[in-house]
């Protein structure tokens, strides 16, 4: 077995070395005086959701018209003012959905619907047919521009690719009069911009601008997509800044980002692209899209939120958004998806749980103005997540997490020293189960270990009276291994009197070292719980717990619970 793993360690890197010449680094942009690294983001960009088009085309089973409508309404509720609703020339479903939005007046007056079209006349014609009667539309023209696309897909030169874009722009301009009662914004994308020479991207974009003639008062959108991530995010930022500094009529443009996630850095590329001067972001909820997906707009928006910037999107009920998204798309939000995943606010680690528990306790005091709780980037409650999600228990958890669940779910406020005693006991039991446990299971463990300890000692009856001189007397009936025992004692309180009564019948000498009591939350079977720590004269200590409607009886039961644990 040892030799086998040594062979694997040698052979795997050798295979990778054999194909190293197959790949090459992406060339950097010549931008030695780049400005974006010293900038900060101070406001939200213009957002455009492409869930209904880019996201939809990536689904194994594309959404129906009804599903698209439900997701559209959710996007509107989230605050999106620009929504790419489809590719009307691609299918009858796409066309029918757009017509339904328009004919049934389902688009709010302040929302722009965006449609995508290639630079082909029959597709542009079909697109305009779909838009008749719309109030606000963005017509998004694209054609691909990278060397690989020019060579493999089109077999055309740069000049010929420019002519395709210009012709498409002209066909659109010629038809604008058919949308006289519609506000129109024109958008152009040199698709595969991230893999295109920046000089050629500028050339083809300026050629389209020459046809559409944007002005500072009537801007067009220039969308510069990271269609396939081919480099690190800083290179994409350099491309965006280079275009902004070198293209004509920058003040007549809304520069837009559309990043994908092939290298797993779509969010980073978007954030750096905004630093580089972009004004607008296209993306999807939770990063749905082809291959590894589009940029996750939820993540980008909530990243702004955690820095105190209004994202101008409402994800205050992220669970509701996720539910609609999963139902309409058939996709599942991963458990570790930032902000929205089931486990992103959850700690299983004992040290993490302890820090979170203490941080939340500090926040609850109101002593801090700004959120600064360990391991929680934002307050989960701000997006309708619960503090109960933040601590969950498995074999890796510690006493703090166990105590946190018992307190938040059942109102059991274990003394810190008792937490140190019960924590390892519960952890061992959880470890044997080999899985996560829920709060009720932890409560059952606690009850078995403390409250339900009835052997050898159990209580049948107890009565205490105040005596002269501030002393108390008690009488009790107990069972020891099932045999009734009568005891009586005198002390400076009911518990002290009971302790003396026990020692009077031969129980080892002990003293009450710690004591705590509190009422239990509504809905529990009893109204009070007592925790008692007793110590033997020879040193050992044990905790006990008792529950009863009478705090006095709960305390007596806690003493017996502790004795039963020696």
**pLDDT band per the 50, 70, 90 thresholds, residue 4:** very low
Q: Positive or negative CA dihedral for 438, 439, 444, 446?
A: positive
Dist CA 474 CA 564 (whole Å): 21
Dist CA 281 CA 297 (whole Å): 8
In the chain, pLDDT over 70 holds for what percent of residues? Answer: 96
CATH of the domain at 277: 3.20.20.70
Residues 244-259 have a mean pLDDT of 98
Residues 540-560 have a mean pLDDT of 95
Query: Mind listing the pLDDT tens digit for each residue in 329-362?
Result: 999 999 999 999 999 998 887 788 889 889 999 9
Residue 418 resides in a domain = yes
pLDDT of residue 122 exceeding 60:
yes
Q: Based on the domain organization, do 429 and 469 belong to the same domain?
A: no
DSSP 6-35: HHHHHHHHHHHHHTGGG--PPPPP--TT--
Residue 342 resides in a domain = no
Q: Based on the domain organization, do 173 and 188 belong to the same domain?
A: yes
Query: Mind listing the pLDDT tens digit for each residue in 215-251?
Result: 999 999 999 999 999 999 999 999 999 999 999 999 9
Angle at alpha carbon of residue 169, lines to 168 and 171, rounded to 5°: 65
Q: What is the pLDDT of residue 1?
A: 40
CATH of the domain at 493: 3.30.160.270
**pLDDT band per the 50, 70, 90 thresholds, residue 2:** very low
Q: Based on the domain organization, do 388 and 513 belong to the same domain?
A: no
pLDDT of residue 16 exceeding 80:
no
Q: What is the pLDDT of residue 498?
A: 96
Q: Based on the domain organization, do 489 and 393 belong to the same domain?
A: no
- Of the candidates 419, 448, 477, which is a domain's last residue? 448
- Of the candidates 297, 329, 361, which is a domain's last residue? 329
Take residue 559 and report the two structure tokens written for it. 């003493």
Residue 10 has a CB neighbour count (10 Å cut-off) of 8
Please give the tally of structural domains in the chain.
3
- Helix, strand, or coil (residue 408): helix
Q: What is the pLDDT of the chain when averaged over all its residues?
A: 93
Residues 138-158 have a mean pLDDT of 96
pLDDT of residue 13 exceeding 90:
no
The HSE-up count of residue 305 (CA atoms within 13 Å, CB side) is 19
Q: Based on the domain organization, do 403 and 511 belong to the same domain?
A: no
How many residues make up the chain in this entry? 566
**pLDDT band per the 50, 70, 90 thresholds, residue 392:** confident
Query: Which residue in the block uniquely carries the two structure tokens 């749905």?
Result: 288
Q: What is the pLDDT of residue 22?
A: 87
Residue 425 resides in a domain = yes
Query: Mind listing the pLDDT tens digit for each residue in 189-201?
Result: 999 999 999 999 9
Q: Based on the domain organization, do 437 and 514 belong to the same domain?
A: no
Q: Is the peptide bond before 448 cis (omega within 30 degrees of 0)?
A: no
Q: What is the pLDDT of residue 37?
A: 98
Residue 334 resides in a domain = no
Q: Based on the domain organization, do 419 and 369 belong to the same domain?
A: yes
Residue 15 resides in a domain = no
pLDDT of residue 538 exceeding 80:
no
pLDDT of residue 86 exceeding 50:
yes
- Of the candidates 410, 428, 448, which is a domain's last residue? 448
Query: Which residues, including other chains, have CB under 8 Å from residue 93's CB and lie 6 or more apart?
Result: 62, 64, 65
Dist CA 433 CA 557 (whole Å): 30
Residues 529-535 have a mean pLDDT of 96
Element (H, E) at 417: helix 416-433
Q: Based on the domain organization, do 145 and 226 belong to the same domain?
A: yes
Q: Based on the domain organization, do 368 and 499 belong to the same domain?
A: no
Assess contact for 311 and 321: CB atoms under 8 A: no
Query: Which residues, including other chains, have CB under 8 Å from residue 165's CB and lie 6 or more apart?
Result: 119, 141, 143, 188, 190, 204, 207, 208
Considering only 8-12, 142-146, 154-158, 432-436, which range has the smallest mean pLDDT?
8-12
Residue 273 phi/psi, 5° resolution?
-65, -35
**pLDDT band per the 50, 70, 90 thresholds, residue 11:** low
Query: Mind listing the pLDDT tens digit for each residue in 408-431?
Result: 889 999 999 999 999 999 989 988
Q: Based on the domain organization, do 107 and 158 belong to the same domain?
A: yes
Q: What is the pLDDT of residue 552?
A: 93
Residue 339 resides in a domain = no
Angle at alpha carbon of residue 327, lines to 321 and 333, rounded to 5°: 60
Take residue 344 and report the two structure tokens written for it. 């992103």
pLDDT of residue 524 exceeding 70:
no
Assess contact for 221 and 209: CB atoms under 8 A: no
Q: Based on the domain organization, do 218 and 103 belong to the same domain?
A: yes
**pLDDT band per the 50, 70, 90 thresholds, residue 522:** low
Residue 516 has a CB neighbour count (10 Å cut-off) of 17
Residue bearing the bigger pLDDT, 6 or 16: 16
Residue 548 resides in a domain = yes
Q: What is the pLDDT of residue 5?
A: 45
Q: What is the pLDDT of residue 351?
A: 84
Residue 476 resides in a domain = yes
Q: Based on the domain organization, do 86 and 233 belong to the same domain?
A: yes
Where in the sequence is the domain holding 359, given as residue range(s)?
A: 350-448
């Amino acid at each position: 077995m040892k030799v086998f793993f040594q062979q694997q360690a040698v052979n795997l890197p050798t295979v990778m070395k054999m194909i190293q010449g197959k790949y090459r680094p992406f060339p950097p942009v010549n931008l030695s005086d780049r400005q974006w690294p010293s900038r900060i983001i101070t406001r939200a960009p213009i957002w455009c959701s492409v869930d209904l088009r880019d996201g939809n085309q990536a689904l194994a089973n594309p959404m129906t018209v009804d599903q698209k409508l439900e997701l559209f309404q959710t996007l509107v509720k989230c605050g999106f003012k620009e929504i790419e609703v489809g590719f009307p020339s691609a299918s009858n479903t796409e066309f029918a959905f757009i017509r339904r939005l328009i004919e049934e007046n389902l688009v709010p007056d302040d929302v722009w619907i965006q449609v995508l079209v290639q630079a082909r006349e029959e597709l542009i014609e079909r697109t305009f047919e779909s838009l008749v009667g719309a109030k606000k539309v963005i017509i998004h023209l694209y054609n691909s521009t990278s060397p690989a696309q020019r060579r493999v897909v089109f077999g055309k030169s740069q000049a010929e690719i420019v002519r395709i874009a210009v012709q498409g722009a002209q066909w659109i301009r010629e038809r604008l009069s058919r949308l006289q009662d519609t506000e129109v914004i024109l958008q152009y994308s040199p698709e595969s911009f991230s893999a295109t020479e920046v000089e050629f991207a500028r050339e083809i974009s300026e050629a389209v601008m020459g046809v559409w003639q944007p002005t500072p008062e009537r801007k067009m959108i220039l969308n510069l997509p990271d269609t396939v991530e081919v480099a690190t995010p800083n290179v994409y930022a350099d491309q965006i800044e280079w275009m902004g500094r070198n293209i004509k009529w920058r003040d007549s443009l809304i520069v837009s980002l559309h990043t994908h996630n092939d290298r797993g850095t779509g969010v980073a590329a978007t954030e750096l692209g905004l630093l580089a001067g972009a004004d607008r972001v296209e993306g999807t909820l939770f990063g749905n899209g082809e291959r590894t997906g589009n940029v996750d707009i939820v993540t980008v928006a909530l990243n702004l939120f955690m820095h105190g910037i209004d994202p101008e999107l409402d994800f205050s009920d992220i669970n509701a958004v996720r539910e609609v998204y999963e139902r309409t798309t058939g996709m599942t939000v991963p458990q570790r998806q930032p902000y929205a995943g089931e486990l992103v606010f959850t700690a299983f680690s004992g040290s993490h749980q302890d820090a979170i528990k203490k941080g939340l306790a500090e926040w609850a005091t109101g002593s801090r103005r700004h959120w600064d709780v360990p391991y929680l980037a934002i307050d989960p409650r701000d997006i309708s997540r619960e503090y109960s999600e933040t601590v969950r228990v498995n074999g890796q958890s510690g006493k703090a997490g166990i105590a946190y669940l018992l307190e938040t779910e059942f109102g059991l406020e274990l003394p810190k020293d008792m937490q140190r005693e019960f924590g390892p006991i519960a952890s061992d039991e959880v470890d044997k189960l080999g899985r996560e446990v829920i709060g009720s299971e932890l409560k059952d463990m606690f009850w078995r270990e403390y409250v339900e300890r009835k052997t050898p000692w159990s209580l049948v009856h107890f009565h205490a009276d105040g005596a002269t001189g501030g002393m108390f007397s008690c009488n009790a009936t107990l069972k020891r291994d099932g045999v009734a025992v009568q005891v009586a004692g005198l002390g400076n309180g009911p518990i002290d009197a009971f302790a003396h009564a026990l020692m009077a019948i031969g129980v080892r000498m002990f003293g009450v070292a710690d004591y705590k009591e509190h009422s239990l939350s509504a809905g529990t079977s009893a109204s009070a719980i007592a925790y008692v720590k007793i110590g033997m004269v020879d040193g050992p200590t044990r905790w006990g717990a008792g529950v009863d409607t009478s705090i006095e009886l709960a305390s007596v039961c806690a003493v017996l619970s502790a004795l039963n644990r020696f």
